[in-house]
Amino acid sequence: MMVKRHNWDEVSTEQVGPKMERKLVYGDKVMIAKMKFKKGFMVPLHSHINEQVTQVVSGTMRFWFGADKEETFDMHAGDVVVIPANVPHEALMVTDVEEIDTWTPIRSDWLDGTDNYLRNDS
């Protein structure tokens, strides 16, 4: 058995762009990211094969769901949403936001740097 213990304070921070930073912890089948966003950061409409759970720690973010963004709601501290695999979604940081996302399977695009949709926000 290979159990790994982590502490967020000791996990390296990746500065994805001027308005986004993240810390990643992952195993073979699940990934968790602790992220901070500056007000105004936009996660463009995208989808992925990963099931996603988003938990807002602080701040307010607005989500849109569906190819035509037909469903929308704001999330605040303490709110959690489960996004099924392949559901298109977009998010705007209404305020500075700290949140934690969990995915299964792990986000290989986040590990190999091909997550360009997040790196184009200034």
End-to-end CA distance of the chain: 43
Instruction: Determine contact, residues 103/30, Cβ cutoff 8 Å.
Output: yes
Neighbours of 41 (CB within 10 A): 22
Give the predicted TM-score (pTM) of the model. Answer: 0.92
Instruction: Determine contact, residues 96/90, Cβ cutoff 8 Å.
Output: no
Query: What pLDDT sits at residue 122?
Result: 47
| pLDDT above 80 for 121 | no
Query: What pLDDT sits at residue 30?
Result: 97
What is the tens place of the pLDDT at every residue in 21-56? 999 999 999 999 999 999 999 999 999 999 999 999
Domains belonging to the chain, first-starting first, are 24-111 (2.60.120.10)
Instruction: Please give the Cα distance from 33 to 21 (Å, whole number).
Output: 10
Query: What pLDDT sits at residue 34?
Result: 98
What is the tens place of the pLDDT at every residue in 44-91? 999 999 999 999 999 999 999 999 999 999 999 999 999 999 999 999
